[in-house]
């Protein structure tokens, strides 16, 4: 690290860019209807990244003696930036993972109990809806092939099922 000022400036710019790009997390949190606490957590993390970026850019303009005086504060803020970003990513990733598994669990329960009111279709992701729809159509095709339902009944049930997801 020959020029600490240049390193601080680059680090500050990286933090600012990371904070700005992390706003995509909030978009996905809102789209996936995550808890407001997760949205607040992500917003707080973005604010910390932007604050640290501005701080690093400001500190990069200090002279070397003033940088030495700010060393402890600098190390604390760097620690917060690194682990704060990592924790934000971890919370967001696992929240999405848990949410997806919850939806799959609901689909399994619905399939097991075969009740129409167990699942709220608007809460499912597109992949989950497609998977569920394919399974239901497959069941109808099996019934049709066994002769349990007629071709007309099959087409009507299939149409009703597809319309339910649109």
Q: What band does 117 get if pLDDT is binned at 50, 70 and 90?
A: very low
What is the DSSP track for 119-146? --GGGS-HHHHHHHHHHHHHHHHHHHHH
Average model confidence (pLDDT) for the chain?
Answer: 76
Return the pLDDT at 114. 59
Q: Which of 34 and 75 is assigned the larger pLDDT?
A: 75
Q: What band does 118 get if pLDDT is binned at 50, 70 and 90?
A: very low
- Structure tokens given for 95: 């929240």
CA distances from 81 to 63, 71, 111, 124, 127 (A): 23, 15, 45, 34, 35
Q: Check: pTM over 0.85? Answer yes or no.
A: no
Q: Residue 3 gets which letter from DSSP?
A: -
Return the pLDDT at 85. 66
Q: Residue 35 gets which letter from DSSP?
A: -
- Could you read off the pLDDT of 22-60 as tens digits, one per residue? 788 777 777 776 667 777 777 877 887 888 888 888 888
**Taking Cα atoms as reference points, which of 18, 19, 81 lies closest to residue 46?**
19
Q: Which of 138 and 65 is assigned the larger pLDDT?
A: 138
Return the pLDDT at 81. 66
């Amino acid at each position: 690290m020959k020029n600490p000022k240049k390193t601080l400036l680059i680090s500050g710019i990286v933090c600012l860019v990371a904070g700005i790009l992390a706003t995509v997390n909030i978009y996905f949190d809102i789209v996936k209807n995550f808890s407001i606490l997760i949205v607040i957590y992500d917003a707080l993390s973005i604010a910390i990244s932007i604050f640290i970026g501005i701080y690093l850019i400001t500190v990069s303009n200090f002279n070397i003696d003033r940088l030495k005086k700010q060393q402890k504060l600098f190390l604390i803020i760097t620690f917060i930036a690194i682990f704060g970003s990592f924790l934000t990513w971890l919370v967001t990733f696992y929240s999405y993972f848990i949410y997806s598994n919850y939806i799959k669990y609901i689909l399994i329960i619905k399939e097991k109990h075969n009740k129409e009111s167990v699942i709220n279709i608007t809460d499912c992701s597109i992949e989950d809806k497609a998977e569920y729809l394919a399974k239901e159509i497959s069941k109808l095709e099996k019934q049709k092939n066994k002769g349990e339902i007629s071709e007309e009944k099959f087409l009507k049930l299939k149409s009703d099922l597809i319309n339910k997801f649109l």
